[in-house]
Amino acid sequence: MTALPSGFRIGLAAPPWGIFNRPSLQLGTLKSYVEEKRLARVDTFHPYLPVAAAIGIDRYTGVARCGWAGEALFAPLLFPEMRGEAEKLFYESLAGEKQPVADFAELVARIEKTCAGWLSTLAMGEYRLFGFSVSFFQLLSSLYLARLIKQQRPELPIVFGGSSCVGAAGASLIEHFPEIDYLVDGEGEEALAGLCLFLEGERDALPANILSRNPVAKGEKPAAIDMDELPPPDYAPFFQEMRTHFPGLPFIPSLPVEFSRGCWWNKCTFCNLNLQWQDYRCKKGEKMAAEVLHLARTHESLQFTFADNALPPKETDRFFARMGEEDMDLQFFAEIRTEADPSRLQLLRRGGLQTVQVGIEALSNSLLRKMKKGITVMDIMSTMKMAGESRIRIEG
């Protein structure tokens, strides 16, 4: 892959409503990958931090937890005619919250002012491309920020990518929203690299998994990334932004990491979480251990969250056995399938697995069979019992 001139610079943003104390795994991974290939300088931004500073951390967390409430706050900024419906959705979404609900109009006004202020701090004239990572409840905020950028620099290409941009949903976004010039349908590393080359003049470099507003010739679909070849995500910009927006605030970061892509079971009839992945694959346990230790020492952080749908069984055992050898109080959250072996749960706990989310979609064997979960009610009950005995907390 051809290296681009050193002046080629792109910006990537993770908009609200990302988790306040957690950097974007997507941005950190893309930054590391593209810069290791020497294709561009990548500046990453977490605009959910200035929004949290503007409305308050507790209120931000409550809105982020409710999901639709966050989308409702950005809806009138994009669609003023829908303000009434958005306000109704906002209050309905927060009906179960214990803390007092803030005034909808006040929050919308603060968010509008904060977004304009955030944009004014960026060196927008220096970017050749600007992108948004769009996952759960980040769509309307991404569209609004993209619209603001286009008003300032209409010629600047904007790319969307992420789990909310896959398949027919992604195609409809680029069809209906002129703010989007390119959209990644699937994995982002090779797609972003190819888009950089394309914008620099290599006209046959645009990967087939990128949708474009204007018809252009496409190259081949990128091969699935070898997980062991990925560099560790770069989270340094997140910590710098934290110091800027919350100077002196003590906080405990939870660093997201990625052991695998896809799901090794991948048979559940209800699941659509793996649409963006081509094939299932995972990192070696030794590779994952080296990455976690690198991040822990770099950022002086002991808390980690696995982004996987389900941890890969064999390599997971190797990883947690290695973590158990470290003289560090590492703490992990992960999603797992049911586990019948108590000695294995004890191994994971010794390596730092403190909290899990187990897929408990039903307590009916007939319904579990229809879902093709591959487990029984007794498997679920056994996992819950053994997790408690191993001092592993179950969430969800």
Predicted confidence (pLDDT) at residue 338 exceeds the cutoff of 70: yes
Beta bridge partners of 130: 11, 158
CA 159 to each of CA 36, 46, 164, 200: distance values in angstroms, whole numbers, following the listed order: 21, 16, 13, 15
Say how far apart CA 164 and CA 121 lie, in whole Å: 27
Give the mean pLDDT of the chain. 92
Q: How large a percentage of the chain has pLDDT more than 70?
A: 96
pLDDT, residue 2, reads 58
Q: Mean of the pLDDT values across residues 296-317? A: 94
Which residue did the predictor score with more confidence, 308 or 396?
308
Predicted confidence (pLDDT) at residue 277 exceeds the cutoff of 80: no
Angle 305-309-315 from CA coordinates, rounded to 5°: 75
Nearest to 3 by CA among 42, 34, 32: 34
Place of tokens 């892959």: 1
| Residue 194: band (very low, low, confident or very high) from pLDDT cuts 50, 70, 90 | very high
Predicted confidence (pLDDT) at residue 113 exceeds the cutoff of 70: yes
pLDDT in tens, 35-53: 999 889 999 999 999 999 9
Q: What are phi and psi of 354, to 5 degrees?
A: -105, -30
Q: How large a percentage of the chain has pLDDT more than 90?
A: 76
| Residue 67: band (very low, low, confident or very high) from pLDDT cuts 50, 70, 90 | confident
Q: Mean of the pLDDT values across residues 276-281? A: 78
User: What are the structure tokens assigned to 154, written together?
Assistant: 């209409």
Q: What is the DSSP letter of 80?
A: G
Predicted confidence (pLDDT) at residue 377 exceeds the cutoff of 90: yes
pLDDT, residue 3, reads 57
pLDDT, residue 100, reads 62
147: helix, strand or coil? helix
Ordered DSSP codes for 255-311: EEE-SEES-SS---TT--TTTT-SS-EE--HHHHHHHHHHHHHHHT--EEEE--SS-
Q: Mean of the pLDDT values across residues 161-176? A: 92
Q: Mean of the pLDDT values across residues 332-358? A: 93
Nearest to 259 by CA among 210, 322, 209, 301: 322
Q: Mean of the pLDDT values across residues 358-367? A: 90
Predicted confidence (pLDDT) at residue 1 exceeds the cutoff of 80: no
pLDDT, residue 218, reads 80
Q: Range with the lowest mean pLDDT among 20-24, 34-38, 135-139, 205-209? A: 205-209
pLDDT, residue 260, reads 95
Predicted confidence (pLDDT) at residue 101 exceeds the cutoff of 80: no
Predicted confidence (pLDDT) at residue 4 exceeds the cutoff of 60: no
pLDDT, residue 99, reads 64
Helical ranges in the chain per DSSP H: 25-36, 48-55, 57-66, 68-78, 83-93, 104-120, 139-152, 167-176, 189-199, 236-245, 285-299, 313-324, 342-350, 365-371, 377-389
pLDDT in tens, 308-323: 988 998 999 999 999 9
| Residue 102: band (very low, low, confident or very high) from pLDDT cuts 50, 70, 90 | confident
pLDDT, residue 297, reads 96
pLDDT, residue 5, reads 57
Q: Range with the lowest mean pLDDT among 51-60, 90-99, 124-133, 312-321? A: 90-99
pLDDT, residue 141, reads 97
Which of 88-97, 151-160, 351-360 holds the top average pLDDT? Answer: 151-160
| Residue 275: band (very low, low, confident or very high) from pLDDT cuts 50, 70, 90 | low
pTM (predicted TM-score) = 0.93
pLDDT, residue 266, reads 86
Predicted confidence (pLDDT) at residue 57 exceeds the cutoff of 80: yes
